[in-house]
Amino acid sequence: MHNKPKEALIHMSKRKALTWYQAWGIRLIAIVAALIVCAVITSITTGLNPLEVYATMFAGAFGTKRRIWILGKEVAILLCISLALTPAFRMRFWNLGGEGQILMGALGTAACMIVMGDTMPNAVLIPVCIIAAVFAGAVWALIPALCKARWNTNETLFTLMMNYVATQLVAYFVIVWEVPKGSGKIGIINQSSKAGWLPVIAGNRYLLNILCVAMLTIAMYIYLTYSKHGYEISVVGESVATARYVGIKVGWTIIRTLMLSGAICGFTGYLLVAGTDHTLTTTLAGGQGFTAVMVAWLAKFNPLGMVLSALLLIFLGRGAGEIATAFTLNQSFGDILTGIILFFIIASEFFINYQLHFRGHGHNGPDKGGSSSAPLASGRAPEGETDSANSKEKREDPANV
């Protein structure tokens, strides 16, 4: 029957750019599919009505005015960390040290609030805290950046290890400042005097945090898209050789960008200590330095897109917590649903960039790279471009969207 050479059952090829509505159509299908799979799993494992579970998730995130504010506060913090990581990621510098840089910023803030709390008015103390936090975060990112620029050390491992050093430093200072002695807890700093606390504006304690991060988001978008620095970051990310050739100082760009990245992480630590939590613990960052990596990737390093991806992740987390309480399930059940939904969303990005061809469907013949292999599914890819383009474009992936 077949006298042609054997062809793979399934093979994939790079799509041409889809229009925005086609891309969002695929994303929508993915979310619907995820919800169906979650519904099936919910029914099988718990016997609950999936629609009620979804309604509860929604209520957990948006159910009351307070919950909406909490959601906003948490989105702001996660978004702020993602914004911090983005310039480094665009440069292909994998800063996994967000967690440690946040803790250092938090430590700097807490130190100022505790040591200088009653020596100066708030108008002076607040800027002092911000400077300390930004400086501490920047230094924590600068150390691996210097080593990368000078000795080309592995930044992934280096930044990751710095997290543990930061955690231990915080653990040490928690013991130094603990109240009461021996408890291993600092408690709320300056609870009666509120020295160093960010002011409550318009009657809401989280509004100022949200506004700060909103402004930072726009600033970061402009910085990355329209500034010379932003352009240099992209070029270094694409190819270090090209960057050198056009006269960009690669080492300086790495150092400068990482200091910015660490400084914003430090600022997040400031917002956590002076803005919301008013305490210092080793778990203050709560793994968000890593969650932010996902937020940034999901939005393809676009600061405006990160608002959506951060919102999605926080919504899922808050919803999962509410399910655990309302149905007396373990929190892990909510996490399973979150995992499934994320899996589908990440997979949808694959289908936006690639398409699958099944043997006998969509190919007229096995003649790869030849004149007759136009995929049937879209019919829009020019002939011969599928496979050769595939390998090249794969490498350019995240930054070019």
Partner 1 sequence: MKKTLSILLALILVMGVLAGCGGGGSASSSGEKPAAAATAEGEKPGDDDFLPANNIKVGFIMLHDENSTYDLNFINAAKAACEELGISEDNYLIRTNIPEGQECYDTACDLADAGCNIIFADSFGHEDFMIQAAKEFPEVQFCHATGTKAHTEGLPNYHNAFASIYEGRYLAGVAAGMKLNEMIEKGDIKEDEAKIGYVGAFTYAEVISGYTSFFLGARSMCPSATMEVTFTGSWYDETAEKEAANTLINDGCVLISQHADSMGAPTACEQAGVPDVSYNGSTISACPNTFIVSSRIDWTPYYLYAIEAVAAGEEFDVDYTGTISTGSVLLTEVNDKAAAAGTAEKIEEIKQKLENEEIYVFDTSTFTVDGKNLDSYMADVDTDANFEGDTEVISDGYFHESEKRSAPYFDLRIDGITLKDEK
Residues in contact with partner 1 by CB under 8 A are 1, 9, 36, 39-40, 42-44, 47-53, 55-56, 59-60, 63-64, 66-67, 70, 171, 175, 179-185, 187-188, 191, 276-279, 281, 283-284, 286, 321-322, 324-328, 330-331, 358-360
Q: Rounded CA gap, 306 and 24, in Å?
A: 16
Nearer to partner 1, 144 or 269 (CB): 269
Q: What's the number of CA atoms in the CB half-sphere (13 Å) around residue 144?
A: 28
φ, ψ of residue 10 to 5 degrees: the values are -130, 135
Nearer to partner 1, 168 or 400 (CB): 168
Nearer to partner 1, 51 or 218 (CB): 51
Cα separation values, 74 from 13, 213, 265, 275, 330, Å: 39, 11, 15, 12, 22
Burial (Cβ within 10 Å: 0-12, 13-18, ≥19) of residue 400: exposed
Q: Rounded CA gap, 374 and 378, in Å?
A: 9
Compute the least distance from the CB of residue 105 to partner 1, in Å: 15
Q: What's the number of CA atoms in the CB half-sphere (13 Å) around residue 13?
A: 26
Cα angle 95-218-199, degrees, rounded to a multiple of 5: 90
Nearer to partner 1, 152 or 192 (CB): 192
Q: Rounded CA gap, 134 and 263, in Å?
A: 4
Cα separation values, 329 from 46, 71, 333, 356, Å: 9, 22, 7, 39
Q: Rounded CA gap, 24 and 348, in Å?
A: 10
Nearer to partner 1, 89 or 206 (CB): 206
Compute the least distance from the CB of residue 6 to partner 1, in Å: 12
Compute the least distance from the CB of residue 35 to partner 1, in Å: 12
Cα separation values, 69 from 65, 205, 249, Å: 6, 9, 44
Which residue type sits at 258?
Answer: L
Nearer to partner 1, 70 or 147 (CB): 70
Compute the least distance from the CB of residue 156 to partner 1, in Å: 25
Compute the least distance from the CB of residue 182 to partner 1, in Å: 3
- Residue whose structure tokens are 């009461």: 180
Compute the least distance from the CB of residue 31 to partner 1, in Å: 17
Nearer to partner 1, 153 or 281 (CB): 281
Which residues lie across from 357 on neighbouring strands?
11
Compute the least distance from the CB of residue 315 to partner 1, in Å: 15
Compute the least distance from the CB of residue 208 to partner 1, in Å: 14
Compute the least distance from the CB of residue 271 to partner 1, in Å: 11
Q: Rounded CA gap, 368 and 387, in Å?
A: 8
Q: Rounded CA gap, 204 and 171, in Å?
A: 31
Of 350, 269, 309, 328, the closest CA to residue 84 belongs to 269
Nearer to partner 1, 113 or 324 (CB): 324
Compute the least distance from the CB of residue 398 to partner 1, in Å: 32
Q: Rounded CA gap, 387 and 392, in Å?
A: 9
Q: Rounded CA gap, 209 and 188, in Å?
A: 18
Nearer to partner 1, 175 or 240 (CB): 175
Nearer to partner 1, 36 or 157 (CB): 36
